[in-house]
Amino acid sequence: MKKILVTRRLLKSNEERISKIWEAKLNSNDEIYPQNKLIELSKGCDGILCSITDKIDEKTINQLSDSIKIISNFAVGIGNIDTKAARENNIVVTNTPDVLTNATAEIAMLLILGAARRASEAIKWVKNKNWKWSVDFLMGKQLYESRLGILGMGRIGGAVAKRAKAFGMKIHYHNRSKLKSSLEEGAIYHNNIKSLFSVSDILSINCPATKETKNIINKETLDFFPAGAIITNSARGEMIDDEALVQALINKKIYAIGLDVYNGEPNIYPGYLNQKNVFILPHLGSATKKTRTAMANLAIDNIVEFFDKGNCTNRVN
């Protein structure tokens, strides 16, 4: 029987399923394994079902035993795994696309609404029980007829666009390549980020984390935005130069921001916590029971397919 190391706790139904298929080494305490412990626990295993919180870099991969043939990532993003090093060690890496698209798109819209309508400030006023109505009390920005820039028009970006259109927003996007007109559904393509950012009343970051997109929001690119723009991020924290974005908030170049992801999670750049026009969530993008169950099942399916066929549809390396 194959042995699979599961690095983080899964929902009960998923753990029961994987334990019926293989000899599964489960993480009942849900601790984040340091790399040396992950290496030790994986000895004698045939595969690893890991989480986005596991940093499986080149050094870690090079120390894995030769028995490891697959790393199935419980996430659509793969920035936590050195896929090149895995390939060089004959280890297949897979992810879980599609199943978290709708849940993450919903969070992206929540970030847009929360930032635009000053939700964090409003909640504090209600809790303090000392608010009173006035004609200019907590006035925010309206989504209707505003321009939404989508950075990364893939599955999630496309799902965000459909939801934003229902709010009457005008959709602009930048992608590695222009979509077919039938897929654009009226969205306007920009072939560079300066062009996109310059028309974005609100920006939704939905692109993958790559060398090219790291710190794509920085001191220079923030100057491209119209004054009073809103920036939201439901993709990966590495996209943003935190210090530069906080300074843009202080200078009122940027009106508000909405974040579900951060550099160095679960730590949050402290500057965000001191600004009232910041709407923040603790990485809830895929956090519904339906989605998390489907993600884990797909991560398991990827391992099943690999051992049955020697390859996998959701292979990323």
Active-site annotation, residues? 236, 265, 283
Q: Which among 216, 223, 213 is positioned nearest to 254, based on CA atoms? A: 223
Q: How many whole angstroms separate alpha carbon 106 and alpha carbon 181?
A: 24
* Angle at 183 (CA atoms; ends 157, 114), nearest 5 degrees: 25
Q: Is 72 helix (H, G, I), strand (E, B) or coil?
A: strand
From the number of C-beta atoms within 10 Å of its C-beta (0-12, 13-18, 19+), residue 30 rates as exposed
Give the containing element (helix H, strand E) for 279: strand 278-280
Q: Are 288 and 312 in contact (CB under 8 A)?
A: no
Label residue 126 exposed, middle or buried (CB < 10 Å: 0-12, 13-18, 19+).
Answer: exposed
DSSP structure string for 29-63: T-----HHHHHHHTTT-SEEEEETT--B-HHHHHT
* Residue the block writes with tokens 């019926």: 20
Report cis status (omega within 30 of 0) of the bond before 226.
no
Rounded Cα distance between 201 and 230, Å, is: 6
- Written as one letter, the residue type at 65 is S
Burial label for 7, CB within 10 Å (0-12, 13-18, 19+), is buried
Transcribe 141-196 into DSSP letters: ---TTPEEEEE--SHHHHHHHHHHHHTTPEEEEE-SSPPPHHHHTTPEE-SSHHHH
